[in-house]
Structures are given as structure tokens and as C-alpha cells.
Homo-oligomer: A and B are copies of this chain.
């Protein structure tokens, strides 16, 4: 069958016929791929820049792809033929308490595996076999935007974790019982930044998104439909601090230079959370002794957040469904392109580089 393969640590990507018996499968349910999403991690692998991407043992290629929607090919194990499903991409280590409880996002051994990245094949192929435990049902009504449930699951888990962590504060809720008085700054308006902005809005926070340029159409649409604010950080964050004050939640969703965090820390409110999500590619975050003193006496918290699991995929689908109703224009703008697997040149190009204005690109296997 056809598959999109990579050969880390070497750069490069190919569409190639692979032997069915040679690639990794994970269970009894046969799933024919409908869509794959492409994300920044895929491109880092393709461009030979993701240090923790590794080949399977005894093989010189890895099937790429950790975002997928497929169709159940034959009824099995509680799933019916024709149902849409989505695989959870991180798989448990089989040993630690959290993995056994279905939560490899908090794996204790570090041996949980990200399919399509770390030595185990992903989902950019005609079909694969998978286990019920890692399959999420996707309602037909979400066939159009459903692929976003994978990155959104990571975001949903992060928001859940931040809300859990804030239970350390006796009352983090507002005078009316909601979170409407809490203000979040989401830095970066790639797909992750947009999904964070929408998810935080959905749980009730007031949200500012920022990027180093004027807002594009998607951002303008989010401002209008979802009442998310936008800040152009081209000249830094002083103006934002001066006009809007401090933020209770700040999310770095850029993957830019770590020194960005130096300029965000002064915007963090007492009892606030600085959430780290993106992987900075360079630079240093420097906290001098005054910064540390401030973190201590104002109860500030810095947290690394990663990987949504099955409960988060399920909640992501509910969020996507609600956004289709509440923010129909924005929802339509989230999938910027669908490329047929038969259009090989376009597929490979999309895997190598991000297009202007791209939010999420899908490969269609139909």
C-alpha cells in the first residue's frame, strides 16, 4: 500500500509502496485512512530537525503522520463498518500507573511512544489496524473539521491541567462564579494559538491573542465572532501591559526563541500561570533574582504542557461541534486546504513547508 515515509535523522519525505506485513499495526480494527493532518512536527521531521524522531528498529524508513481520521473497514470489537474514527497518537509504556490508567500524557517511565515520530509507524498510509482503547469515534457531522481534534486534544488537556492547577487558589473564579474576569494572553496565532484562544474562550476567559503583525482574515473573524482580542506585538509588549494590565494566564504557543519568555514574564498577574506549550528552537529564558522573588511572593507558576489523550479527543470533538454553531465563519477558515494523495507533488510540497496563511492542511485519501 501507499504510505508517506521519512528516514530520520536524514531530511526528506517520499510517497512509497510499503509491504503490509512490514509496517506497525496496533490492534484488530482495520481502518482505511480518510484524512491526515499535517503539522509543524511533521515538517521538522521532514526537514531533519526533530532530534527525537527515530527510525523503527531494523528498518530504514518510518511511516509519518500522527493526525488521522479513518473509516472502519469491517465491524469489529464494538465498532461498526463505516464509522469514522480517530487514533490517539501517543501510546502507553504498558508499565507505569498513568499509562495503565489511559493517561500516557503523564507517563512516568518516558517510554510512552508517539506514533509517526518515535520508532513506531504513523498513519499516513492507506490503512492500518488499531486497538479499541486508542480509537475515538468521530461523528459524521464533524468530518469536515474533525482532523483538528488531534491538535485540539493537546490544547484541551493543557486547559484542563491549568484549571486543575489553579484549584490551589481558594477562589480563582470571579464574583459571578464564572471565569469571565480572568484574562488570558495567547502568544502566537498558528493553529495551536488559535485553538488555545478558542478553548480558553469556551471555558469563559477573556482572551487576547498576539502576533508580530496586523491580524489576517482568520484573526479578524475570531475577533468578530468569538470576541477574542488581538494585539500586534511587533514593537513588544509594553503597550499591551500599559493599556490592558497583567494577565492571569499566558500561553507561549510560538515555538520561537526562548528569550520571548523574558518579555512575557512581566505581564503575568499575581497567582498567574505561564503555560509553555511550543518547543523553542533557540535562545534562553533568564530569570534574575528579582524575577524569582516576584514568582515567590506572588504565587506565580510556570508549567510545561503536552499531549492530549482519549478523554481530551472526546472533549475536543464537543468543542469543535459547538464552534460550528457559535463561530461558523471561523470554523470554515480553520482547514485552509485539502490535497489529494494523488497530487503527489502538492502533498510533498505541503509536507516540506508551510504555505502563507495556512492554518491546517489535510491530505485526502478518498
Contact = CB atoms under 8 A, between A and B. Distances in A.
9 contacts: A97-B100, A97-B101, A98-B170, A177-B310, A279-B292, A284-B286, A285-B286, A300-B303, A319-B322
A212 interface: no
A171 B97 contact: yes
Interface stretch (A24-32, A63-71, A134-142, A332-340): A134-142
A251 to B, nearest CB: 12
A40 interface: no
Contact of A176 (B102, B277, B321): B102
Contacts of A98: 169-171
Interface in A147-178: 161, 164-165, 167-171, 173-178
Q: Is the interface of A mostly helix, strand, loop or mixed?
A: mixed
A108 B271 contact: yes
A270 B287 CA distance: 22
B289 A257 contact: yes
A283 B290 CA distance: 9
Interface of A: 97-98, 100-103, 105-108, 110, 133-134, 139, 141-142, 161, 164-165, 167-171, 173-179, 202, 204, 257-258, 261, 270-271, 276-289, 291-307, 309-311, 314, 318-319, 321-326, 328
Contact of A289 (B110, B176, B280): B280
Contacts of A276: 292, 295-296
Contacts of A108: 270-271
Contacts of A133: 175-176
Given A167-B164, A257-B289, A175 B280 contact: no
A303 B304 contact: no
B319 A106 contact: no
A171 B173 contact: no
A73 to B, nearest CB: 21
Contacts of A97: 100-101, 170-171, 175
Kindly list the 6 A-B residue pairs having the minimum CB-CB distance in the complex, ordered from nearest.
A102-B177, A295-B304, A321-B325, A321-B322, A296-B304, A322-B322
